[in-house]
A and B are shown apart, each in its own frame.
Chain A
Amino acid sequence: MSKRKQPDSKVPAPSMTEQEKVLYNLIQSKQDLGIWSRDVNREARLPNKVVAKSLESLLSRGLIKAVAHFQSKSRKHFLASEFEPSPEITGGKWYDQGSLDTEFVDFLKGQCLKHIRNLKIATVDTVADAVRRSRVLKVDYSSEDIGEIVGALVLDNDVIEMRSNGLGEFAAVPAGGACYKCRDATKEPRVGAMASIPCGVCPEVARCTPGGVVSPATCEYYSKWLDF
């Protein structure tokens, strides 16, 4: 469902020229996806100069807004001002000015990790509660949002996901419920056998053959590895 602010019924409908009305209706019909500036000319079927002038007028009166697409900052989408731009244009709630807000996401990951460590066995809800109570965030984030961050911690292998059996240390979590536990931070993650040797991560391995141009005997990665 598109996010849409309710228009104020006490404000009289703004007066627009016929061309402006055509453009405004077109833009409004696109709701939270808006319309790419390049497509406006094509779909409105108005002369370019008229389109440009009308858009400028609508922008200056605050009836529409221009939002940069996350894929390319030069690509502008026009939206009616009452709509919040869709994640398809912005990239999503974790995006800022077209790029993933890595700094903020890493900060939030660190907070969640700290709370999971303190809780020993945590659920998404208990972590979300702990984050809210800590008041480190200016904006409220839902359990769903925190769940996405915890999911990323699982993918980073900082946190293990398990199923509760409802007993012992899992007593607070209903049996079968998803819960999380920190990986032992004092242990260095084990490097796999292939990752430990040059061949395992070699970009030339497909070309490598005994006696070939790229071979184990002449391999520079090996020479570097064995250069103590």
Chain B
Amino acid sequence: MVSPPSQYGIKYAVHIVSSHFGDLVAKVCECLLRRGALTHQNIVRFTEMSASQVKNCLLVLIQQNCVQAFSVEHPGGVGDASRRSTEYMALFDNIIHRMRLPKFVAVVSQELDKECVELFQGLLQHGRLTLEKMIDRAKSGREDCTAQDATRETLFKLVNARFVEHCPDPEPHLSPPSEEGAPARKRTKSSKVAAEPETLEERVLAAAAPMEAKRFLIMFDTATEEDGQKMGDSFLGVGEKRKSDALESDKELGSEGDRVLWRVNVQEFMHRFRHKACVENVRERLDGGAAVALSAMLETSRSMEKKVKTDISVPLSINTIYEEVMKGEAGRAMTLDHLRASLVMLGCERGADESYKIDLKNIIEQAQNEEVESVVLKKYGQNAYRIFRLLSKANRLLETDKISDTAFVDKKETPKILFRLWKDQFLHMEKVVVTGPRQTQFLLWKVNKSTLWPHVLDEMYHAALNLNLRVAYELEKENELLNLPIEKRSGPLEKRYNRIRTVRLLLESSLMKLDDAIMLFHNF
């Protein structure tokens, strides 16, 4: 279930939009984030901006995939017909993703060629592009058709790798929840009936999402060739078998092939980052061998996983895992027995015919625990660290003396530590009064992750905002120096210049590391 953004989540998102698109766009965005989905009219009312200003801001936000429009039916009064209105919803996650676009580029750079990276960067810059626009960008004055072919091939590679996808429906119609008994035609295959009622955002995104069969489908338009040559049969990409009775007519698709809007498929990157976080956690917590084994399992099973947040990995045979292990340099020296020992250390569940699967949800939880424990250690010391870890592992209420005994913290010191942790919202506390000959009060303590984790995530957004603001402040302070030509920088100025470069590097790398933690606590 998608939770509404927290206080500092909203502030951080607004800051991002303001930095990238200006204050007016940020004002519209903030209005939607704080008030939920609104009509154009209501946005105008709440922001006190003009109608055209709001419209332009919405266009920018929609173009950049930060807002999704949808239409809803409002029942009319007695004797009146129902009316349809368009509402706009801010997509908090997509706004936050804007801070990690360089990470997306890094992934594409590692796997594909320079041309793919350039096209991908174009998509990031513009938010969404048609093939026609991509070709125009690539042509840059060239008159021949090589740019066209090259761009198609590049797009094909990006789509094939799932880095790029069809844009969603620009304005899906949202039926009232009671009418959505049968699966909507545009629901993706991966969506399922949730145990909890879906939020409005989940319903809108599900309604807008293209069918899974269409999401990565490329149909190149052959009728609009500028040189008049026919290219031959239209081209189907990405391993999707064409089922003519399941798709719309060739003519309809073919004529719009070049005008299909494409955008970055964020889900693919989140999927990879989740796997990467698991591997890095295991490398740090266990050893390199375990990391190699897990990396091989996840690399093999990624395409088989139905969703980003898969709890248990797809079962794989030892031979399949070993085959993947041997592909990498780190795995070539690994024997089969060593792999088996690593899989045991990972806590993999062994199935029939020596197949293995692993609880990824557990690894993510361990990574989350370690992040918070690291803060407790640095802020409150080793004794508090032991106490917090005890309560986190126990996952139930424990009495003060019991905590003191098990964590080997002096009984006089334990209550002080517990109160400090409680005051700073790391712990939940309950009082139990036992009546008897004498009334005795016991204090029970617990790490309540259902309230602590959202608090930690909000603090992370706060910290990320602070890092951004401090970078801006430091650069503003040295603005003149940064604009000075290199030949005029010498002596103390050179020293100050080097300092500001180091400051910027430290702050920005800290922000990227913090962003990894934000993804972890957002559970990708």
Contacts and interface: CB of A to CB of B under 8 A. Distances in A.
A99 B411 CA distance: 8
B344 A192 contact: no
B459 A194 contact: yes
Interface stretch (B177-185, B189-197, B308-316, B469-477): B469-477
Interface of A is mostly: loop
A102 interface: yes
Interface string B429-462: 0000000000000000000000000001001101
A210 interface: yes
A183 to B, nearest CB: 8
B375 A195 contact: yes
Contacts of B350: 165
Nearest to B499: A228
Contacts of A200: 375, 378-379, 459, 463
A148 interface: yes
B470 A205 contact: no
Contacts of B463: 194, 197, 199-200
Contact-size category for A = 35 or more
B341 interface: yes
Contacts of B513: 193, 196
Contacts of B340: 167-168
A155 B389 contact: yes
B326 interface: no
Interface in A200-228: 200-201, 205, 208, 210, 215-217, 219, 222, 226, 228
B296 to A, nearest CB: 19
Given A156-B386, A162-B345, A192 B370 contact: yes
B339 to A, nearest CB: 11
Nearest to B472: A217
B149 interface: no
B406 interface: yes
A217 B473 contact: yes
Interface residues of B, number: 56
B502 A100 contact: no
Given A193-B460, A195-B378, 16 more contacts: A91-B411, A102-B410, A148-B405, A155-B407, A162-B347, A163-B347, A168-B337, A168-B340, A169-B341, A192-B372, A194-B460, A195-B374, A197-B463, A197-B467, A200-B379, A226-B507
13 contacts: A92-B405, A95-B411, A155-B390, A156-B382, A160-B285, A160-B286, A162-B345, A168-B340, A192-B517, A194-B460, A197-B510, A205-B462, A222-B470
A193 B287 contact: no
A168 B284 contact: no
B266 interface: no
A71 B400 CA distance: 13
A167 B340 CA distance: 10
A216 B466 contact: yes
Nearest to B476: A217
